[in-house]
């Protein structure tokens, strides 16, 4: 939905004294495959590098995170009818109709139930599939776009954070945020795609990605680069079982990348009080 259409709904942008709680709703994918030699289950995360400039110094932020992206609010009127006014957290979210909204704190439970209702049943109010985002992110990271014959997809769970925490998102930095995730499992069955994932993990280093981000910035881009990080699922589970509540200021590191705070959302095997999980039947 473009800006002119969003204006029709009279939805503003940014935090106000009244609209002070941010709600971020995303579709995440647990991407797994059987390693061709080891025959163990491996999991794939997206490696991202972002270049920033501060005080005349160049800094690279390296993050490993689940594939996926923001859920689109396809019918804003349906939400307006039950809570009244709300804002998007940024112009970008408004342009893309991403469910990254600012609401009254007292409306959280209503918004949570609204999301759960429309994520369980695909009725056109929310777009919950992560597959479109995955194809785009795989193209960025691997220059391939998976087709439906290369993987098997199934819905796993809805994951809710019931305690707010400040967001580090550049769209609305520092604002207390509640998060809801629609988690799917993508099982890759195509041997060529599996080989491409493994080759990228083995051959593209964090330093390579930093150089690519620098080249991207010099050519007029945003100073970003993407790759994939594939590793045995049991290794990732071990990290979180040993450190179930990592300090955001001192996150778990894998292959030089900090693990994003939402990685445990796709790991049902890890028990944490941070999340409430609702399994799809």
Looking at residue 107, the DSSP 8-state letter turns out to be G
Dig out the tokens for 226 from the structure: 């993407």
Dig out the tokens for 28 from the structure: 């995440």
Question: Do residues 276 and 113 lie in contact, with contact meaning Cβ atoms separated by under 8 Å?
Answer: no
pLDDT at residue 6 tops 60: no
Number of domains into which the chain is organized: 1
Give the pTM. Answer: 0.90
Kindly tell me the sign of the dihedral angle through the C-alpha atoms of 90, 91, 93, 94: positive
The whole-number average pLDDT for the span 179-194 is: 96
What pLDDT is attached to residue 172? 81
Residue 173: C-alpha distances to residues 28, 89, 90, 169, 221 (Å) = 21, 10, 11, 5, 22
More confident residue, 181 or 131: 181
- In terms of phi and psi (left: phi > 0; alpha: psi -120 to 50; beta: otherwise), the region of 223 is left
pLDDT grade, residue 1 (50/70/90)?
very low
Mean model confidence pLDDT for the chain: 90
Digit-coded pLDDT (tens) for 106-119: 999 999 999 999 99
pLDDT grade, residue 82 (50/70/90)?
very high
pLDDT at residue 191 tops 70: yes
The whole-number average pLDDT for the span 242-269 is: 83
pLDDT grade, residue 2 (50/70/90)?
very low
pLDDT grade, residue 248 (50/70/90)?
low
Digit-coded pLDDT (tens) for 193-243: 999 999 999 999 999 999 999 999 999 998 999 999 999 999 999 988 888
By CB neighbour count within 10 A (0-12 exposed, 13-18 middle, 19+ buried), where does 1 fall? Answer: middle
- Domain span at 40: 3-279
User: In angstroms, rounded to a whole number, what is the distance separating the alpha carbons of residues 47 and 65?
Assistant: 7
pLDDT grade, residue 5 (50/70/90)?
very low
């Amino acid at each position: 939905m473009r800006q002119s259409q969003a204006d029709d709904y009279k939805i503003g942008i940014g935090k106000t004294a009244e609209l002070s709680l941010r709600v971020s709703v995303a579709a995440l994918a647990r991407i797994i495959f059987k390693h061709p030699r080891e025959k163990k289950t491996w999991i794939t995360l997206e490696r991202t590098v972002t270049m920033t400039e501060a005080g005349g110094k160049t800094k690279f932020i390296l993050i490993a995170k689940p594939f996926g992206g923001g859920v689109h609010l396809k019918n804003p009127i349906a939400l307006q009818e039950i809570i009244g006014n709300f804002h998007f957290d940024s112009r970008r979210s408004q342009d893309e109709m991403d469910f990254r909204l600012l609401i009254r704190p007292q409306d959280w439970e209503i918004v949570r139930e609204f999301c759960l209702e429309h994520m369980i049943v695909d009725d056109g109010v929310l777009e919950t599939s992560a597959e479109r985002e995955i194809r785009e992110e795989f193209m960025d990271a691997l220059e391939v776009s998976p087709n439906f014959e290369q993987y098997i997809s199934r819905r796993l769970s809805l994951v809710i954070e019931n305690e707010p925490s400040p967001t580090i998102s550049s769209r609305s930095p520092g604002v207390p945020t509640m998060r809801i995730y629609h988690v799917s499992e993508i099982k890759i069955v195509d041997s060529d795609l599996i080989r491409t994932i493994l080759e990228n993990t083995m051959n593209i280093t964090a330093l390579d990605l930093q150089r690519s981000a620098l080249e991207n910035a010099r050519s007029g881009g945003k100073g970003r680069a993407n790759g994939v990080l594939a590793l045995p699922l049991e290794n990732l589970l071990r990290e979180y079982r040993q450190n179930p509540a990592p300090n955001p200021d001192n996150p778990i590191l894998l292959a030089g990348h900090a693990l994003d705070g939402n990685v445990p959302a796709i790991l049902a095997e890890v028990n944490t009080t941070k999340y409430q999980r609702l399994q799809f039947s």
